[in-house]
Amino acid sequence: MKTFRLLPLFVAIGATLALPVQAQSLVDLYQSARDYDATYQSAKSQFVATLARADQAKALLLPTVGLSLGASATNLDSTLPPSQQPTSNYNSQSATVSASQPLYRPANRASYEQGMKQVDLAQAQLAAADQDLIVRVSQAYFDVLAAMDNLTFVKAQKAAVGEQLASAKRNFEVGTATITDTREAQARFDLGTAQEIAAENDLRVKKIALEQLVGKAGAQPSPLAQPLALPTLVPSDVNAWVAQAESNHPGIKQSQVALDVAQLETQKAQAGHKPTLDLTAGYNITQNNGTANTSMDYRTNAATIGLAFNLPLFAGFAIQNRVRETLALEDKARNDLEATRRAVAQGTRTAFFGVESGQGQVKALEAAEASSQSALDANKLGYDVGVRINIDVLNSQSQLYDTKAKLAKARYDVLLGELRLRQASGTLQAQDLQGVNALLAK
């Protein structure tokens, strides 16, 4: 009886699972990842914190104002004669407002400029995190598509081997083929079953990785449109990409900011020899309710304004050694910048030639796919007329579907390689995903 009560629930669940999943484009999943990915959210929080730290540096150039309050009570006990005893109980209250405005502090000015450089650093770090997210989402997206294609090709190959197995069994029954053909086809069919299980698991794992990245359950990437014409690489000169990297790469910008900050740190150290000048002002109110000498109440108001000048004379050679340290760190930052430039240029060239090679592989695999299809058709015809054996057909089928899988993977690698090239040159933006979206099936 309980089974019949639960039957509608099972039917509802089955109907829900049977609903078609709406495919998402690469841009859709990237937008989801921006709101969900913990690594990118961490970079955004660091960006906000760095901006706040930069604003703190402004305080070194602005005035400071303080308020202080005080109160005291005194109780005297003396052995003097009553006529000579001082007032035994009295109290006082005071309030002071003080202000100071730096007029000449070279170290504070250098610290303020360092804070402003931190803004440039934060922007470069956030841009690098955004580019990394684009590449990670694209990688996971194409991994799922490649796994889907691989599963499709494995199933198609298994079906083709199944047909060849049935044909071999029929030919063996009528005596036109040996049992060897049947066993060879059966072995390929069993191997196809194992490959299908592995391909299904690989697709499942790739989907889990994509869903974890974008924070969306049941993510279903849209496949590429067929037939597909890959876009050409613009600009086609590797030196143009390297030149873009020199001026746009976030890593170079971060190293340049580090050098600027090191130079300002040297200025701060050198400022240790220089004088400082501050404008000071204050206003004090004191209310006295008697003193030790009188019981009269009185109040005093005092206003002050002045200049505070300080000139360091000798600090035990600490300033000189600090300057030596900052100059060495400045030289280190300069070398780090040069190393970053060389690494970025090398990475850009590697990515460029990788895309060029990938495009050549796609063309070669397209030709290989056509040749493999022709070879399969010829082997099938030869098997039917008796000039080819079953293993020849099976090998041709394996070659054809292996070529199809490699071709599909090569196309994904080219598209991802172009995004990586833009990342290597520092020009990758979310708008670049629109070009990939235009290649997806509608």
The reply to whether 340 and 254 lie within a common domain is yes
What domain range includes position 99?
Answer: 64-76+83-103+276-311
Instruction: Say which residues have a Cβ less than 8 Å from residue 313's Cβ, sequence separation at least 6.
Output: none
Q: How many CA atoms lie within 13 A of 275 on its CB side?
A: 8
185 is a domain residue: no
If asked whether residues 337 and 364 sit together in one domain, one would say: yes
Tell me if 331 is assigned to some domain: yes
Nearest Cα neighbor of 214 from 125, 144, 123 is 144
Is the previous residue joined to 63 through a cis bond, with omega within 30 degrees of 0?
A: no
The answer on 417 and 270 residing in a single domain is: yes
H helix and E strand count, the chain: 10, 4
Asked if 116 and 48 sit in the same domain, the reply is yes
What's the token pair of residue 118? 């931190």
**Is 340 part of a structural domain of the chain?**
yes
How many structural domains compose the chain? 2
pLDDT at 297: 79
Question: What is the spatial distance between Cα 56 and Cα 3, in angstroms, rounded to a whole number?
Answer: 68
In this prediction, residue 7 carries a pLDDT of 36
pLDDT tens for each residue of 212-251: 999 988 889 999 988 888 888 889 999 999 999 999 999 9
pLDDT of residue 4: 36
Q: Which residue has the tokens 């989907």?
A: 207
Predicted pLDDT at 83: 58
> Are both 288 and 414 inside the same structural domain?
no
**Under the phi-then-psi rule, with left for phi > 0, alpha for psi from -120 to 50, and beta for the rest, what region is 316?**
left
Alpha-carbon distances, residue 206 vs 105, 174, 219, 411 (angstroms): 59, 46, 11, 18
Q: How far is residue 320's CA from residue 303's CA, in Å, rounded to a whole number?
A: 40
196: how many CB neighbours lie within 10 A of its CB?
A: 16
Sites in the chain below the pLDDT cut of 50: 1-20
- Whole-Å CA distances, 13 to 5, 23, 346: 14, 21, 54
Residues 286 and 355 in one domain: no
